[in-house]
Amino acid sequence: MALRLVYSVGKGGVGKTTCAAALALQSARTWRTLVVSLDPAHNLGDVLGATLADSPTEQAENLWAGEIDMEAAIARYLKESAERLKQMYSYLKVINIEGYLDALRLSPGIEEYATLQAMEELIREAEPRYDILVFDTPPTGLTLRVLALPRVSLLWGERLARLRREILDKRRAVERIQGERKFVIDGAEHHLVSDEKSDAVMTELNEYVARMKRLANLQADASRCRVMPVMNADRLSLFETKRAFAALEQLGMPIGSVIVNKAGLKSTDSRTVEEIRAELRREVRTIPFIEADLCGRAAVEEFGQHIDFREWIPGHSA
C-alpha cells in the first residue's frame, strides 16, 4: 500500500514518544512500519530499549526505527544550500557565500527548515520501503511551525518564480537590443541565460515548489495522513491542544481521536476528560497512569493494550 503518515503531536512530557512507539509496535503486526523521532531531545530509543541511529535500523519483524540527528541535519542543509548557491552564481564573485552562510547558520527558522528538509527526505526515501511512517515530533510549537512550512514555502517559491520570470523577461529585452550577453571571469566564459528552460535558478525553484506542493497535499490527504493528538487531563494541556487544533485545521491536516494519557491520577480527571471531549468536539481515548517504568518493547506493548492504536492509521478502520 502507498506510504501513510502518522504524526504524534502534543506538549512536552504528555506521552507522545510512548504513544508513537506503541502505535508503531501495533502497526508492525500488519504493516512494514518505520517510526522516527524528529525531536532534538530524543528518547524514542530509550522507550524502545534500543540504540537508534540517524538512518533506520530494524528493531523487530516489520519494525524499523530511527532518530534524526538534528545537528547533522542542520549542517547538511547549510552545506547543500551553499553548494547550490555556488553552482548557480559561480559568476558572481561579489557574493561572499561563506559570509552569507555564517549569517544563515544563526538566522531564525533554521531549525524548522532543517527539520522540514529531513522530514521531506525521509518521506521520499520511505515511500517505496514502508507502509506506515510514524513521526515522533518535538513539542507542539516547533512541530506546528514545521508542519506549516510546506505551505509557507510554496507561497514563497511561487512568488520567487514570478520574480525570476520577470528578470528573464528583462534579460530577453536587453538581448533583443544588444545581442547575447557574455562575459569572461578568470578565463571562463559566462553567458547570461534568458530562457526559463536553461535557467538553473528557475529549474531549482520549480523543483522546490513541486516538492512542497507534494508534501502539502500529502499532509492534507485524509487517506494518507493523520495527526494523533496526545494530551494529559489538565486545563493547560487542553488550552494548548485547542490552539494546536486551530493551526492544524488551517493547514487542512486530518486529526484523529484525542488521546488523554496518564488519566485517573486526580479525582477530578474524569470531569476534565468530559470537558476535553466537549470543548474539542472529538472522540477521546484515555490511557491510565501506569506505575511501571515505560522502557523497552515489552513495557510499551503492555501500555499499548489500553487502546487500539490502529485507529490512527489512515485508511484503516479498526
Ligand X SMILES: Nc1ncnc2c1ncn2[C@@H]1O[C@H](COP(=O)(O)OP(=O)(O)O)[C@@H](O)[C@H]1O
Of 18, 59, 117, 143, the residue at the interface with ligand X (CB under 6 A) is: 18
Minimum Å distance from CB 2 to Mg ion?
27
Nearer to ligand X, 122 or 300 (CB): 300
Minimum Å distance from CB 16 to Mg ion?
5
* Total residues at interface with ligand X (CB under 6 A): 15
User: Interface residues for Mg ion in 182-211 (CB under 5 A)?
Assistant: none
Residue that is written with C-alpha cell 484523529 in the block? 256
- Sketch the per residue contact string, 202 through 241, with ligand X: x for CB under 6 A, - otherwise: ----------------------------------------
Contact status: 50 vs ligand X (CB under 6 A): no
Minimum Å distance from CB 135 to ligand X?
12
- Contact status, residue 35 vs residue 9, Cβ threshold 8 Å: no
Contact status: 43 vs ligand X (CB under 6 A): yes
Query: Which residue number places its CB atom closest to Mg ion?
Result: 17
39-47, Cβ contacts within 8 angstroms, sequence gap of 24 or more: 39/136, 39/137, 39/138, 39/139, 40/70, 40/111, 40/138, 41/138, 42/67, 43/17, 44/17, 44/20, 44/136, 46/295, 47/17, 47/18, 47/21, 47/294, 47/295, 47/300
Minimum Å distance from CB 272 to ligand X?
15
* CA-closest candidate to residue 240, choices 256, 252, 258, 266: 258
- Sketch the per residue contact string, 6 through 25, with Mg ion: x for CB under 5 A, - otherwise: ----------xx--------
Partner from Mg ion, ligand X, none binding residue 287, C-beta < 5-8 Å depending on class: ligand X
Contact status: 48 vs ligand X (CB under 6 A): no
What's the CA gap between 214 and 153, in Å, rounded? 12
156 by Cβ neighbours in 10 Å (0-12 / 13-18 / 19+) ranks as middle
Set of cell numbers at residue 139: 513539542
